[in-house]
Chain A
Amino acid sequence: MPAVISESILEGEKVRLRPVEESDLPHFVRWLADREIARWLERLEKAPTLEQEYEWWHDKRADPESVLWAIDTLDGRLVGTTELRLTLRADRAEMGIAIQDKTQWSKGLGTDAVRLVVDYAFEELDLNRVELTADEDNARAVRCYEKVGFVREGLLRQHRLVDGRFGNSVIMSILRDEWEPLERGDDE
């Protein structure tokens, strides 16, 4: 099942999610060199090289528990990535998202992408819970998740080291019975 999943293309009101391609990687490398973006991402203590980003992409493609998408605007401009990490035996997934092109922040692209991913998790994969952790100081992200319907469940103390300082993470989730399915234009 998961092997087919990663080919899914999802279209929302503002963004389209599609599989990441090798030609996307140099854009990620360029954007992630900027601490203003990378500081919010738990996996990145320093800017990745193109080789490291290639390895990351390669590992994700081989991982049956990961569904990774590139986020494009509807006119085809790459702006970031989003991922579901599945734990199928518990009917849940953890999600992550990054609008890496900061000229595209505050336009609702992230919110639209999160909605598509959550809808996919509940309606297509039949999961029961989608969770995520966010840097407590990342007010923009937390607001976006709350808008989509995520609920705060706890505060993880000293959970991440960012630029030499330990910070807290918020853990949030949304359950299937809290989700109103998106209307789909793509049903045949």
Chain B
Amino acid sequence: MIAPPPVLQGEKTRLRPLLEDDLPRLVHWFNTPDVRYWLHASERPDATLETITQRFVTNWDAEASIFWIIETLDEKPIGNLRLLDIDPHHRRCELAISVGDVDHLGRGYGTDAIRRSLAFAFGDLGLRRVDLLTDADNERGLRCYEKCGFVREGLLRKRRLRFGQPVDMVMMSVLREDWMEA
């Protein structure tokens, strides 16, 4: 049994463990067209309570990944943030974030949540590198990641499908040494 991740307090958001009540919310978020559009896994079948439970509870690899619900300071859940493939040898992980409540997009919540999770990844987990992939046409995302210190490392051609169409993706990373300086 692995302990749930700690609650992390940011300036505008709080990151907390996934609760059973969140599952229907995740189903709703993942099926919202404007949210799904940007999901790496947009090609999965429509989310159901069963598939979401399987993916984030039953089959969740809690040894190598962390799942947080992002909530506002008044405890309204607005999205999720995940650290994936945490590799203690190479001391790196991948970050994935999705703000599912579209009313809370573009207001700095994602930026705050990412900054807080990076402090945890570099500080508590002792990692050296956090990377992510985002769609090359996701300007909002790219701006936010750059604000958090991520640097573009490459353009991966036709890396995923979005509703059947190939999409280029940008590989970005932030290194501990750069993040400590900022």
Q: A residues touching B (Cβ–Cβ < 8 Å)?
A: 42, 45, 89-92, 128-129, 131, 151, 153-161, 166, 171, 173, 175
Tell whether, in the assembled complex, residue B157 and residue A171 are in contact, meaning their CB atoms are under 8 Å apart: no
A100 to chain B, nearest CB (A): 21
Query: What are 6 pairs between A and B in contact, CB < 8 Å?
Result: A90-B160, A128-B158, A129-B158, A154-B156, A156-B153, A157-B129
CB-CB under 8 A from A155, the residues of chain B are: 153-154
B55 to chain A, nearest CB (A): 13
Tell whether, in the assembled complex, residue A171 and residue B43 are in contact, meaning their CB atoms are under 8 Å apart: no
Interface residues in B146-182 by Cβ distance below 8 A to A read: 151, 153-161, 166, 171, 173, 175
Tell whether, in the assembled complex, residue B159 and residue A45 are in contact, meaning their CB atoms are under 8 Å apart: no
Taken together as a complex, chains A and B put the C-alpha atoms of A59 and B57 apart, in Å, by 22
Instruction: State the main secondary structure of chain A at its contact with B.
Output: strand
Tell me the nearest residue of chain B to A42, going by C-beta: B90
Number of interface residues of B (CB under 8 A): 25
Tell me the nearest residue of chain B to A154, going by C-beta: B154
Closest 3 CB pairs of A and B: A154-B154, A89-B43, A90-B160
A155 to chain B, nearest CB (A): 6
CB-CB under 8 A from A151, the residues of chain B are: 157
B118 to chain A, nearest CB (A): 15
Q: Which of B41, B89, B154, B166 contacts A171 (CB 8 A)?
A: B154
Taken together as a complex, chains A and B put the C-alpha atoms of A104 and B175 apart, in Å, by 38
CB-CB under 8 A from B151, the residues of chain A are: 157
Tell whether, in the assembled complex, residue A89 and residue B41 are in contact, meaning their CB atoms are under 8 Å apart: yes
Q: Which of B92, B128, B158, B171 contacts A175 (CB 8 A)?
A: B158
Contact pattern, B 35-46, Cβ under 8 Å of A = 1, otherwise 0: 000001101100
